[in-house]
Structure 1
Amino acid sequence: MIERKIHTDISSALNRQAAVVIIGPRQVGKTTLAHKIGDQSNAVYLDLENPADRDKLSDALLFFKMHEERLVILDEIHHAPEIFQVMRGIIDEGRRKERGIGRFLILGSASIELLRQSSESLAGRVAYIDMYPLILSEISDVSMNTLWLRGGFPNSLLSKTDKDSYLIRQDFIRTYLERDIPMFGPRVPTETLRRLWIMLAHLQGSTLNVSRLAQNLDVSTTTVFRYIDLLVDLFLIRRLRPFHANVSKRLVKAPKVYVRDSGILHALLNIKTVDDLFSNPIVGASFEGFVIENIISILPYGIDPYFYRTQAGAEIDLILNISSTERWGIEIKRGSIAKPTKGFYYAQEDLKLTQSFVVYGGEDTYPIDKNTTALSLSSMLEKIASL
């Protein structure tokens, strides 16, 4: 079994907080990790998608009191949102008995509604942890190109063949369109959403133009915003915000859009093999999104990611405010030569970056100039992990 880096984060959170919520897309490995944690702590596990397990909570107060000495793991919590209020009472009673930590581990596949329900009922009693697909620093027996092609969902990544992996991802897309999205959001025509998802895949790494998408789909801009919000809430799409620096420049204000998992991106574009990927015009944007997701997944709390672009052509793919006195810029180049553009140096000067990096397709780490270092994705992840 692959050791997930957030395992330690979850264990630490359970040792300081009464409830911990793990949020992430379906099939990312939440249930597998929860079972591993449960086996180590003699926990009670309930899958609330299973009617038999939901029936056990017909009197949730009694059930929780029966197991007050054990961690209770609640999977697919969106099927029983009414129990949040019961959990609040149990947590408060436990605190009076000096049993105020490590009571509940909650798993959910939709962010906005789960966060709203849990934050309203469990304010001050809960920690939130995002679970991402597998990243490069978590795997050892799989090449970077395989991870990039197949993406980080475990079933896809660990498939015996590229064909099996591709079919698993096509099933994932179909399940989201036909079952999960209608469950979590307002009724959305499946074919319209499929077309939007594919359009966003073709726009990987581009600034978001909602008006053009609305025109192509023959729907209103309000509808497109609503559909994209839903895909964002389900961890399928990322909107990377522009960095608004205090500089006298005309800045790009629209976010950039990415299909978050590279494997899902490739399935949407019918890219089945590494050869297909390398011969496709999307390859550069795909690598950019792949690197960005790997980096964002291990950022310490409080470091938010941005991109920077001016209408004059200054641009850096990723900006990280490490502290009040330290700001990093990261440019991404798929090739074996790490050569920044002029726009990179213009942005470097605009933002007064303390450190600049070019993540490229090679393995060596070397200085490009006195302010800029070329390095591999693995080395970049090590540098961020040390923060």
Structure 2
Amino acid sequence: MQFLSRRIYFDLKNHLDSPEMSVILGPRQAGKTTLMLKLMEELKASNKPAVYLNLDILEDKQYFLTQHTLIDRVQRLLGMEGVVFLDEIHRLENAGLYLKGLYDMKTPYKFVVSGSGSLELKANIMEPMTGRKREFLCMPLSFSEFAANRLSVNLKDLDSTIDSNKYELARLVDEYMAFGGYPRVVLSQTYEEKFSVLSEIYKSYLERDIEALLKVEKSGVFESLVRILASQVGNMVNKSELSSTLGVTERTIKKYTHLLEKTFIIAMVPPFYSRVRREITKSSKVFFMDLGMLALAQGRSPEVKFSEGGTFENACYLRLNELNLLERVKFWRSKTGAEVDFVIISPKTGKAIPVEVKSSVKEERPLSKSLISFIGKYKPNACFIYNRENSFESKRGNTKIGVLPYHYTLPGVG
């Protein structure tokens, strides 16, 4: 089993000593099972008892009939202590109540549970498990994780090796933008193999998750919606317009975009609000959570061109997503047409930090009119501009301006 180093692995490892259940969520084939097997392998190497049970395996499924039958099985395998890994828990009816019952039995076991991202999983597990679990989100590899694995460096050391790996990083940026970060895709050796694996993941999502698990009534409409959203990536979504284009109700559009969000395929970024009435807008911008999935949804070759604005903006959104800012990432657009790609609400100061995305930046004129407008209105302490390769600092009034290549992490924000 080839293992890719992930931040989530160390977070899960550190949580093994907590009595809370560790619940791993995320899309299919993002690496949840691999994480569990790697943790179990390490535990056994340290002579610590651990067992893995998978609800997709018929032999294992029989032991989930009741909580008592499961504990009896675990006790026979582990004795009176150890870590229990339960995979594909979303296959279990009323999984949340089942896990709540397990937890409330006060057994001597630590439980690590995983399930693919679905509405059933969220509804059936999260609410009953309030106060009894910690969630861990397992997504496709971030660019930092992808680059660190390819360069064979520790994640924490990646930024310090950027200058010495400048040209290799530029090549890795292009590959990541083309194929994304699903582990099987990353581990594939040739472009042809990567495209084949990615196509399989994409098809599996539409056919298995959507048609079967989520029981979408109009799967053809759903697939068309995915393609349209991919063509509009980085732009505001007009649900009324989509309703007219696809010939379905606006309620259906809202339902389907909600499904796409909850299954970790897209993210809807809301506008940055202030007390200035001229900036009020209700539409959100759409981004995909994996660049390879975006490429397939757009129906284009994985040989991506870096200059494609929507793709690059999506890539930069994923970079911001690495900072674990969640709902703190927004965008700004005034009714006069001024727009800033992203606005981060700093968790440290609560102040707005504008982030603009450009294919290239000139040192003598780094700021767009929209960014100048935002700085004049909100007086941020700092602003950042992501671009292909330039790196320099500047200033406008009291606002520090940082121009960064894509492979740099925003400093002092997360």
**Shared fold, TM over 0.5:** yes
Name the counterpart of 1:38: 40
Query: How much does 1:335 deviate?
Result: 2.9
The answer on 1:311 being equivalent to 2:335 is: yes
Tell me which amino acid in the other structure corresponds to 1:37.
L
Match 2:384 to one of 352, 357, 365: 357
**2:359 matched to which residue of 1?**
334
Q: Which residue of 1 aligns with 2:316?
A: 291
Paired with 1:299 and 1:83, the residues of 2 have a C-alpha distance of: 27
Q: Are residues 1:106 and 2:113 paired?
A: yes
1:145 aligns with 2:170: no
Deviations 1:303-354 (A, max 9, x none): 6211111111222222221234433221111336473320112122333322
Q: What is the deviation of 1:158?
A: 2.7
Distance 1:86 1:265, change over 3 A: closer
On the 8 A contact 2:393/2:400 being kept in 1, the answer is no
Corresponding position of 1:171 = 200
Q: Note the C-alpha offset of 1:220.
A: 1.1
Q: Give the alignment of 1:120-199 within 5 angstroms.
A: 120-138=127-145, 139-140=147-148, 141=150, 143-199=172-228
What is the CA distance between 1:278 and its match in structure 2?
4.5
| Residue 372 of structure 2: aligned partner | 345
Say which is worse superposed, 250-259 or 336-345, in terms of deviation.
Answer: 336-345
| Aligned twin of 1:64 | 71
Give 1:43 deviation, angstroms. 2.4
Q: What is the TM-score with the length of structure 2 in the denominator? A: 0.83
Across the aligned residues of Structure 1 and Structure 2, the Cα RMSD in angstroms comes to 2.3
Name the residue aligned to 2:18. 16
Aligned to 2:305: 277
Summarize the Cα distance change of 1:156–1:226 in structure 2 as closer, same or farther, 3 Å threshold.
same
**Contact 1:61–1:86 (CA<8 Å) still a contact in 2?**
no
Structure 1 letter corresponding to 2:335:
Q
Deviation at 1:247, TM superposition (A): 2.4
Deviation of the 1:17 alpha carbon: 4.1
Structure 1 length as normaliser, TM-score? 0.89
User: Secondary structure at 1:195's aligned position in 2?
Assistant: helix
Of all paired residues, the percent bearing the same amino acid is 26
Runs of 4+, deviation exceeding 6 Å: none
In structure 1, C-alpha distance between the alignment counterparts of 2:53 and 2:392, rounded to whole Å:
48
Partner SS, residue 12 of structure 2: helix
Q: Which residue of 1 aligns with 2:62?
A: 55
Q: Which moved more, 1:221-230 or 1:4-13?
A: 4-13
Residue 79 (structure 1) aligned with residue 103 (structure 2) = no
SS at match of 1:249: helix
Match of 1:242 in 2: 271
Q: CA deviation at 1:84?
A: 3.4
The separation in 2 between residues aligned to 1:191 and 1:233, in whole angstroms, is 19
Q: Is 2:24–2:138's contact at 8 Å kept on the other side of the alignment?
A: yes
Amino acid at match of 1:378: H
Q: 2:403 aligns with which of 336, 358, 374?
A: 374
Residue 202 of structure 1 corresponds to 231
Residues 249, 310 of structure 1: 8 Å contact kept? yes
1:81–1:72 distance in 2 versus 1, CA, 3 Å? farther
Q: Which SS does the other structure have where 1:230 is aligned?
A: helix
Amino acid at match of 2:204: T
**SS, match of residue 64 in structure 2:** coil
Q: Alpha-carbon deviations, 1:180-212, whole Å to 9, x = none?
A: 112332333332221111111100111011111
SS at match of 1:371: strand
Tell me if structure 2 keeps the 8 A contact 1:242–1:253: yes
- State the Cα distance separating 1:111 from its structure 2 match: 4.6
